[in-house]
Amino acid sequence: MRALTWTGMSPPPTMVAARTATPTMVTLRRINLRGDRVCVRATASSSAAVSGGGVAEAVELSEIGERSNKWKWKGEYSINYFVKSSPEEVTPASQTLLLVHGFGASIPHWRRNINALSKNHTVYAIDLLGFGDSEKPPGFSYTMESWAELILNFLEEVVQKPTILIGNSVGSLACVIAASESKQDLVKGLVLLNCAGGMNNKAVFDDWRIKLLMPLLLLIDFLLKQRGIASALFNRVKDRENLKNILTNVYGNKDNVDDTLVEIIAGPANSEGALDAFVSILTGPPGPNPIKLIPEITKPVLVLWGDQDGLTPLDGPVGKYFTSLPGQLPNFNLYVLEGVGHCPQDDRPDLVHDRLLPWLAQLSST
């Protein structure tokens, strides 16, 4: 996720089972039509649907912990990953998927999606270097390019099959970079959930809001490089009450912001190396511009965007660009999810599945 302060984090999911609720009624309202690619809004017909009706039972946190594996990236860095599939349902037409979380999150952020996706597909989920249970090496200079390289190496060495990359926020951007740099047939398609414009808010583009804040951003960079100041700020940010307030502002569905969600964020933030990762990511280069990379990608792309996202808003440069793509690029489909924040897969997994599962099925039939 885009990161100026910890408010940019892509939070992990609540750690309770998906609650039973009145089934979600979804209305698709056309908002833009160019050719045969349609940009539509997906909406819930009632507030009761927000509780998570139509969502597969979430994967238990204990299962993620017990079944996670370790892989040595470049023979040096320990990377945590999780795999799940339903062998009786997986067929030659099934897809292989890799889930890539956003800033501050980890594999459990996908717990509301893994069971729904693994019913018919093989699902991998990864903790990027510096997050979750993956290593947080001291002195490592985090960049978007390094995460993209990690993804491609993981596909080549571990997955070893053409894979659809599914990312949220900075995870989406890492997937875009990986797809644009893949020289082999490793990437079969992309699913982008509220794609970030950069690793941090120094990704200016033409957003007057960021340009106006640039002197402040540079001052924050300077202050964060002072160890004592950075440590004090980091401790304040990862305070559980502060985290809950931050997450409440990130999510459209406030019911999914609970104490367990907060703990999932706070846990990895208290591990060794987390402070160094935090500072490096916030003060490092923003990375490649997704607007420049997208035209290079010819694989099928599905874009889902929560319209209540204050971090990568629809009326910002990145949001405007993505909503302009249907009809311009034949490999693109985009859906705007009403009442949804920066992390659609956990905020409203039902709306995400309503669009994602048919798209995967259609891809399997072609």
Q: Residue 14 pLDDT more than 70?
A: no
pLDDT at residue 48, as a whole number: 34
pLDDT band at 4 (very low <50, low <70, confident <90, very high): very low
In whole angstroms, what separates CA 230 from the centre of its chain?
25
pLDDT at residue 46, as a whole number: 34
In this structure, of 141-150, 254-263, 328-337, the range with the lowest mean pLDDT score is: 254-263
In whole angstroms, what separates CA 18 from the centre of its chain?
20
pLDDT at residue 268, as a whole number: 83
**Distance (Å, whole) CA 166 – CA 117:** 11
pLDDT band at 132 (very low <50, low <70, confident <90, very high): very high
**Distance (Å, whole) CA 196 – CA 203:** 9
Q: Residue 27 pLDDT more than 80?
A: no
Domains of the chain by residue range: 6-365
pLDDT at residue 354, as a whole number: 97
Of 219, 276, 177, residue with least CA distance to 4: 219
| Residue, of 38 and 212, whose pLDDT is higher | 212
pLDDT at residue 208, as a whole number: 59
Helix pair 144-154, 170-181: axis angle to 10 deg: 60
pLDDT band at 239 (very low <50, low <70, confident <90, very high): confident
Of 348, 349, 344, residue with least CA distance to 102: 344
> pLDDT by residue (tens digit) across 82-100?
999 987 777 877 999 999 9
Q: Residue 55 pLDDT more than 90?
A: no
Architecture of the domain whose range is 6-365: 3-Layer(aba) Sandwich (3.40)
Q: Residue 9 pLDDT more than 80?
A: no
| Residue, of 30 and 315, whose pLDDT is higher | 315
Q: Residue 8 pLDDT more than 60?
A: no
In this structure, of 37-46, 279-288, 315-324, 335-344, the range with the lowest mean pLDDT score is: 37-46
pLDDT at residue 215, as a whole number: 57
In this structure, of 29-43, 129-143, 144-158, 311-325, the range with the lowest mean pLDDT score is: 29-43
Indicate the SS3 state at residue 306.
strand
Residue type for position 180: S
Q: Residue 33 pLDDT more than 70?
A: no
| Residue, of 93 and 190, whose pLDDT is higher | 190
Mean pLDDT of 49-60: 61
Mean pLDDT of the residues in the chain = 82
**Distance (Å, whole) CA 347 – CA 27:** 18
In this structure, of 120-124, 218-222, 228-232, 305-309, the range with the lowest mean pLDDT score is: 218-222
pLDDT at residue 131, as a whole number: 96
> pLDDT by residue (tens digit) across 39-49?
566 655 433 33
Q: Is the entire prediction scored with pTM above 0.85?
A: no
